[in-house]
Amino acid sequence: MKVLVAVKRVVDYNVKVRPKADGSDVDIANVKMSINPFCEIAVEEAVRLKEKGVASEIVVVSMGPKQCQEQIRTALALGADRGIQVETDAELQPLAVAKCLKAIVEKEAPQLVILGKQSIDGDNNQTGQMLAALTGMGQGTFASEVNVEGESVKVTREIDGGLQTVELTLPAVVTTDLRLNEPRYASLPNIMKAKRKPLDVTTPEELGVDIAPRTKTLKVEPPAERQAGIKVADVAELVEKLKSEAKVI
């Protein structure tokens, strides 16, 4: 079974992001970039399926500027077999990504497509759902457990107050939640081997996809600075301040 995994290049989760001076976007100049954490979980799940003998090939795809080949190489070092980069310097919104993925799904015919549930930069949580809608595949989102059984996949989903298990006919789309697995680290020999694994480059134009943005970012601003707190002597003073200053009681 072929598994397609979508990995996004994002600002590393340890970086404190800052808006550009003109508030037009987040400033990513000289900032450490990494694989989106939920995509790392997607790669790990695909690799585990291969280790179990369920998956036979893992193809990893990333869309964006040339540098997203770094994230593809990382995924190859983690155990993916081959990479595809859809190269563009243009802004990519979830619908454009989903359309490019649809074109790749049509070429590659994977049985399972695994995406992260969300990219930590845009917090969109849209691409997997859009891909499922565009291709007509079933979707198992926010997966905390994935079991392929013959022609179907059982996905346990993290929902409010509990877990829900759905069964999807393959081919299907799965998006990963945090508790699905704990991704491994790439070993040095595997990082070296990954450099020789195949990586094809295509473009949205070659895929015949219109990636024009559908929404416009008006402003990006940091959260309001938190005010310093104060110490009160006793409960009476606290109640008084909540009444007269904070005016919440």
Interface contacts to ligand AMP, rule CB under 6 A: 6-8, 36, 38-39, 42, 62-64, 92, 94, 97, 115-116, 118-119, 122, 124-128
65 vs 232, which CB is nearer to ligand AMP?
Answer: 65
DSSP codes joined into one string, 100-135: HHHHHHHHH--SEEEEES--TTT----HHHHHHHHH
Q: In terms of CB distance, is 54 or 114 closer to ligand AMP?
A: 114
Distances in Å between the Cα of 134 and the Cα atoms of 62, 63, 243 are 18, 18, 54
The H or E element that residue 144 is part of is: strand 138-149
Question: Residue with CB nearest ligand AMP?
Answer: 116
Least Cβ distance, residue 184 to ligand AMP (angstroms):
18
In angstroms, what is the minimal distance from the CB of 75 to ligand AMP?
A: 10
Smallest gap, in angstroms, from Cβ of residue 105 to ligand AMP? Answer: 13
Q: Which residue is it, tokens 């829900």?
A: 164
**Which lies closer to ligand AMP via its Cβ, residue 124 or residue 152?**
124
Q: How far is the CB of 64 from ligand AMP (least distance, A)?
A: 5
SS3 content of the chain, % helix, strand, coil (to 5): 30, 30, 40
Q: Based on CB atoms, which residue is closest to ligand AMP, 107 or 243?
A: 107
Cβ burial of 61 (10 Å; 0-12, 13-18, 19+) is buried
